[in-house]
Amino acid sequence: MEDMLRAMNLQSQEEVWQWFRLKEKEQMEEKYLQSEENSDTQTEMNEAVDSRRETQEKKENEKKKKCNNNKSGKKNVDDRLGFQFRHEKALEPQRRSALD
């Protein structure tokens, strides 16, 4: 509304067109600056995400290394537990018959 009133107050048609071009140019510059800010912000966000991913991957790799180092000991424990479970499962019918 204010723009229209100002345009009406200008004396000639040429001044009106110059004024509108100037306004369009200012708007274009504002949009460009906003897009620059947005792209900078987006770049920073992407860098932060990449950094988090790298950190997460490092942590996962360290966990895998620890697991690989402990696998031999863990495997023996798992085998023993599995044997114990199978052994108890095999003895279960005998226990039931003893209770009856």
pLDDT (tens digit per residue) in 47-93: 888 889 999 998 888 888 777 666 555 555 555 555 566 666 666 76
Residue 67 gets the label, from left (phi > 0), alpha (psi -120 to 50) or beta, of alpha
Q: Is residue 97 situated within a structural domain? A: no
Are 82 and 90 a contacting pair, CB within 8 Å? no
Domain assignment present for residue 79? The answer is no
Does 83 map to a domain? Answer: no
pTM: 0.37
Q: What is the pLDDT of residue 77?
A: 54
58 lies in a domain? yes
Burial 65-82 (b: 16+ CB within 10 A, else e): eeeeeeeeeeeeeeeeee
Q: Please name the helix (run of DSSP H) or strand (run of DSSP E) that holds residue 97, with its range, or none.
A: helix 13-99
Expressed as residue numbers, the domain containing 48 is 2-72
pLDDT at 83: 59
Residue 62 belongs to a domain: yes
Q: What does residue 11 show for φ and ψ, rounded to 5 degrees?
A: -80, -40
